[in-house]
Amino acid sequence: MCLIILRTCANSPIIRYHAHIGGQYVDGLRGPLLINDVNAPYRGIDTEYTLTLSDLYHTEAPSLINYYQSTDNANQNNGAEPVPNSGLINEAQGGNYPMVAGKKYLFRIINMGAFAPFYLQFDQHDMTVVEIDGVYTTQTTVSQLFVTVAQRYSVIVTAKSDSTKNFAIKASMSTDMFNPTIIPATFNTEVSAYLVYNSAAALPAPLTISPLPFDDSVFTPYDQQAALEPVTMPIQMTISFGTNQNGQFRGYLNGIDYIPQKVPTLYTAMNAPLTQVNNPSIYGTNSNPYVLPLNAVVELTLQNHDSFAHPFHLHGHNFQVISRTSGGPDFPINIPAGAPMRRDTVQVMSDGSVTIRFKADNPGIALFHCHIEWHVEAGLTATFIEAPTELQAAKLYIPVSHRDVCDVQGILRKGNAAGNSKNYLDLSNANIVAETDMWGYVSLDPRRKLS
């Protein structure tokens, strides 16, 4: 795992870098990127620690993707997602965090997994939350966190006043979405680490934790930013799953499953005629495109028609959570008046909805997607083309290395989604259906390979 630290005054303390192609981040192309903000609104921290959570698969992602997106999986398992073998803390199990009595520690917590949310608890130590997804919050103390895929938390943990014993940290996977018929032979939902006050003392027995009701709307932003007004661009989306014309089990937003186009959306936006650049159709129907005018206040309401919860993530912005249905007694919701929770990944409850707002003030291409990596591969993604007129005016420089990557792979860099640079309204050659052999690996049932 590579750790990158920057010194800046930016208000984005935790970022997770990772790939989204072929499940590469599932296989290890991922890591934390931490920003040391000299103006952070908390003081007295003696030491900082990084604590990453991830789910471990014993089979490489491309084979898992191919089976997940196969007709065999659609027919036999109703399109069930691959189930991990175990959990990891900092890409390992049984790690130690040295503690000194009376000191204050800042733990930067990141779920870098592909699928599983985690319940996280420090034995006999509370956590004071000071930041979520790069947004500073008013300080709120909790005994347990629920951290879904892609979410981040910074918490302050105050050490005990003496060093006579050590304490366990426990992360326990939520298994609500795991299909019991494809549980691997080697399977463990819990992983431990330790707060070590005394290296000569014995480590404690693994901690047993029970899920507690969790409402992340209590974490209101430190800057107390009020709800954005007025809304100038309302968007409605629905989440659903079903089989496509090839019999693959796919994820749909408004009935559309995302398919990569012949020309990446950024290149289309940079090269299209000004008369067409704001026309969403040139980006291809199956890129699920939405053109956002500069400084529009976007209000997106997402209706989940699936019986499972989904962590939805927006690139390029933190959004305000204006409203959300609860997830029953385990996940109540009580969004306070005034300053709504602000973050970039929100759990949309099963058969529920969420309404978010953000200002379109970052020209470029921003994906909005479920951050379960299997659902990214299944097409549960939309594309926001943000202020494309202003994007063109900025005359961005694309590095030679980026262009070379496209050229080596035969990916076009000019034209509409279909690669047509003469008539941007001609989409007759656009990609409209997912590949049946997505990453060139033999489609094996993962149950045959997992041990």
Q: How far apart are CA 384 and CA 291, in angstroms?
A: 6
pLDDT (tens digit per residue) in 155-182: 999 999 999 999 999 999 999 999 999 9
Please tell me the predicted confidence (pLDDT) of residue 443. Answer: 43
Residue 148: what pLDDT?
A: 98
- Looking at residue 22, what is its pLDDT? 87
Give the dihedral of Cα atoms 244, 447, 369, 152; nearest 10 deg.
Answer: 170
pTM: 0.94
Say yes or no to pLDDT of 317 above 70.
Answer: yes
Please report the pLDDT score of residue 208 as a whole number.
Answer: 93
Where do we find the tokens 């033999």?
442
Task: Please write the tens of the pLDDT for every residue from 84-103.
Answer: 999 999 999 999 999 999 99
- Would you place residue 357 in the very low, low, confident or very high pLDDT band (cuts 50, 70, 90)? very high
* The predicted structure's pLDDT at residue 435: 87
Q: How far is CA 401 from CA 398, 405, 408, 413, 427, in A?
A: 8, 6, 10, 13, 28
The pair of three-digit structure tokens given for residue 29, joined into one six-digit string: 């192309």
Please report which confidence band the pLDDT of residue 4 belongs to, taking 50, 70 and 90 as the band edges: very low
Is the pLDDT confidence value at 380 over 70? yes
- Tell me, what's the pLDDT at 12? 53
Sign for the pseudo-dihedral over CA of 433, 438, 442, 444: negative
State the Cα–Cα distance between residues 277 and 1, nearest whole angstrom. Answer: 40
Answer whether residue 249 shows pLDDT above 50: yes
> pLDDT tens digits for 285-309?
999 999 999 999 999 999 999 999 9
Whole-number pLDDT of residue 166: 98
Query: pLDDT-derived band of residue 440, with 50, 70 and 90 as boundaries?
Result: low
Q: State the pLDDT at residue 217.
A: 95
Q: What percent of the chain has pLDDT over 90?
A: 88
Q: Give the tens place of pLDDT for each residue, 112-122.
A: 999 999 999 99
Q: What is the pLDDT of residue 451?
A: 33
Q: If pLDDT is split at 50, 70 and 90, which confidence band does 76 have?
A: very high
Q: Is 362 exposed, middle or buried (0-12, 13-18, 19+ CB in 10 A)?
A: middle
Portion of the chain with pLDDT greater than 70, in percent: 94
Burial class (CB in 10 A: 0-12, 13-18, 19+), 200: exposed
- Of 109, 347, 343, the C-alpha closest to 219 is 343
Sequence-distant (≥ 6) Cβ neighbours of residue 406 within 8 angstroms: 264, 412, 413
pLDDT at residue 236 above 80? yes
Q: In which band, very low, low, confident or very high, does the pLDDT at 7 lie, cut at 50, 70 and 90?
A: very low
Across 261-266, average pLDDT: 97
Whole-number Å distance between alpha carbons of 208 and 192: 10
What pLDDT sits at residue 376? 97
Cβ 363 vs Cβ 336: under 8 Å: no
User: To the nearest whole number, what is the mean pLDDT of the chain?
Assistant: 93
pLDDT score of 335 = 86
pLDDT band at 1 (very low <50, low <70, confident <90, very high): very low
The model's confidence at residue 132, banded by pLDDT at 50, 70 and 90, is: very high
pLDDT at 3 exceeding the cut of 90? no
* Residue 278 in tokens: 């704001």
The predicted model gives 425-441 an average pLDDT of 85
Radius of gyration, alpha carbons of the chain = 22
Which of 288, 259, 261, 258 lies closest to 417 in space, CA to CA? 261
14-31, pLDDT tens digit by residue? 778 898 888 999 999 999
